Amino acid sequence: MRPRVIFLMGPTASGKTDLAIALQNHLPVELISVDSALVYRGLDIGSAKPSAEEQALAPHRLIDICDPAEPYNAGQFVQDALAAIDEIHAAGKIPLLVGGTMLYFKALLDGLADMPATPPSVRAEVEREAAEKGWAAMHAELARIDPQTAADLHPNHSQRISRALEVYRSCGKTMSQLRAQQQANAGPGFTERFDLTQLAIAPRDRGVLHARIAERFERMLAAGFDAEVRGLMQRADLHPDLPAIRAVGYRQMWAHLAGEYSRAEMLAKGVAASRQLAKRQLTWLRGWPNLNWVYTDDSSGNALPHKEIVRQALNCLGVATI
C-alpha cells in the first residue's frame, strides 16, 4: 500500500492552522508548513506564524528554517518537504502538509524543471526594461510568450516575472515548455508514490473571508507588527527586494516605515494585498483536481461551530465521527 499524505490548503485567514491542530486529536499526523513566509526566522507577527503555544501543541516542520536575507524557493521546498515526508512515514505517522503557498503544493505534485542559469547581461536587460515600462507591461509580455506561466503570476510578482522572461531570453524556451519536457521524462510522480487526500478550507461567503482578513491585520498591528519590521529594517543585509520582505504585509509596512505613505494608507494597502492574495489562492483552488472542500460557514453565511468544521474534514479523510 502507498503511504498516506494529506494536503490542507486554503486562502489566507481561512482557519487552516486551527483545523490542522484539531486533526491531531483524531489522526496520527505530523504537520509540515507549506508557506513561503513562515520559512523565515523573525517574520512572526506579519506572517501569522503559529504561536509558541500552537507549535507546542502541534509542531510544524519547515518553519523558521532560514534567515530572511537568504531567498528560499519552490525547488528548496520540494527537497525539504520530501525529506520531511519520508521521516514522518518512517516514524509511522501521516504527513499533513498545511498552508497557502499554492506554488509549493503544485511543485510537489508536478515537479519542477531544471531552469538554465541566467547570464548577468540578460538579467540586467530585463531589469532595465522593467524600470522603463513597469512590471505590468513585463507581465503582459510574459503572457504573450508563455500564457500558462503568466496566468499563475500576479503582475506585481516582479521576481518571478523576471525569472520567467530571463529563462525564455536565455534559451528560447518557456518555463512551461521546460516543465513539460521534464514531466515527460520523469519517474513516478507524487500521486503514484503516495495515497494523497487533498482538503481545502474556506468560507462560502467571500465577504466573511474579507472581514477575517481585515480583523487579523488589525490584530497584527496591535501585537506590534510595526516594531517587528523596524527591527528588520535595522539590519544592513535586508532590503525591500528580498522575497522575505516582499511578503504580503511586510512590503506595505516596510514602505510605511520608510516614509512612502501614512499608517492609514499602509493599513488599507496591507488589507487590500491580503485580499488579493486570497483571491489568487482561491483561483488556484477552483481548478485544483481531486479536492475536498471543508466550509466554515453554512449556505446562509453563518459561521459553523469548530466541531462541525472538524467533522467535515474527518469525513473527507474517511474517519468515522459521532
Query: What's the rounded Cα separation, in Å, for the pair 205 and 278?
Result: 13
Query: What's the pLDDT at 195?
Result: 97
Which region holds residue 107: left if phi is over 0, alpha if psi is between -120 and 50, else beta?
Answer: alpha
What is the structure's pLDDT at 120?
81
What pLDDT score does 157 carry? 79
Confidence category of residue 188, pLDDT binned at 50, 70, 90: low
Residue-wise pLDDT for 261-273, tens only, equals 999 999 999 999 9
For the segment 117-170, what is each residue's pLDDT rounded down to a tens digit? 778 888 889 989 998 999 999 999 999 999 989 988 878 778 789 989 999 998
pLDDT, averaged across the chain: 93
Assign 277 a pLDDT band (cuts: 50, 70, 90): very high
Element (H, E) at 53: helix 52-57
Judge residue 246's burial from the number of C-beta atoms within 10 Å of its C-beta, 0-12 exposed, 13-18 middle, 19 or more buried: middle
Are 32 and 61 in contact, with CB atoms under 8 Å apart?
Answer: yes
**Structural domains present in the chain:** 4-111+187-316 (3.40.50.300), 120-185 (1.10.20.140)
pLDDT bin (cut points 50, 70, 90) of residue 1 is confident
Distance in angstroms (rounded) separating the CA atoms of residues 127 and 149: 19
